[in-house]
A = this chain, B = another copy of it.
Amino acid sequence: MRLAELSRRSGVATATIKYYLREGLLPPGRQINTTTAEYDEEHLRRLRLVRAMIQVGRVPVATVREVLRHVDDDSLGLTVRLGAALWALPQVPEPEEDDAFVRAAHREAEELLDLLGWSNAKLLTTISPAYRSLVVAVAAFRRLGYDWETELLASYARLMHETAKLDLDFVETHPSEAEKVETAVLGTVLTEPILRALRRLAQEEESARRYGFE
């Protein structure tokens, strides 16, 4: 297809597509003559992924380039490739202070992984941004003087494990490894706002069931 059709089918303006091409976020089309290039279904798929990250996920252009580098690296095994692509996405800010709360949160997070039997995640604690984000969030909670049982945290974690199974089941409906990795990135960028909205809706529903409308 030509640029105009790529624009029509993706809903992305041609000027924006040209910008993505210049920035290397989209591979060049097959040059037919000096002024015309031909694009295929893979360009369309990649364009949707880039647009989702930039417009919906508000991921900076340099970060998109980094994520795509991992998406395209077929020298890696699937777990590592998935992990690298997802880890390149924006994360929760690092802790400003490595204080007693952060150290206690580390111990609590490790206990939690043991309690859950997440032995694979435990192997990744030194390098996983998700693990660091958890430690930061738990430390913030404790610093404010809130007292949560680790068992409550484990109940939330088990529900998130069910969510992750749905995520990966959906990823697996795609045939190629490249599409699997792309879908995982998209799933993370696009479904986080969906889950956040569903959780708040569910709170409204459950709150009305328990306390009625008055």
Contact = CB atoms under 8 A, between A and B. Distances in A.
Interface of A: 9-11, 44, 48, 51-52, 55-56, 76-80, 82-83, 86, 92, 113, 118, 120-121, 123-124, 128-131, 133-134, 136-138, 140-141, 143-146, 148, 152-153, 155-157, 159-168, 170, 184, 186, 188, 190-214
16 contacts: A77-B211, A79-B214, A82-B203, A82-B207, A83-B204, A118-B202, A120-B208, A120-B209, A120-B213, A133-B200, A153-B194, A156-B166, A156-B191, A164-B199, A192-B196, A195-B195
A48 B161 contact: no
B206 A141 contact: no
A112 to B, nearest CB: 9
Integer count of this chain's copies in the complex: 2
B78 A133 contact: no
Contact of A143 (B11, B77, B206, B209): B11
A188 B197 CA distance: 11
Q: Which of A133, A200, A214 neighbours the largest number of chain B CB atoms within 10 Å of its CB?
A: A200
SS of A interface (majority): helix
Contact of A200 (B9, B56, B188, B210): B188
Contacts of A128: 201, 204
Contact of A198 (B82, B136, B157, B203): B157
Nearest to A155: B166
Contacts of A51: 144
A88 B157 CA distance: 27
Given A83-B204, A118-B202, A164-B203, 20 more contacts: A9-B145, A79-B208, A79-B212, A79-B214, A83-B207, A118-B201, A118-B205, A120-B205, A123-B208, A128-B204, A134-B197, A134-B198, A137-B193, A140-B193, A144-B186, A152-B166, A152-B170, A164-B202, A167-B203, A195-B199
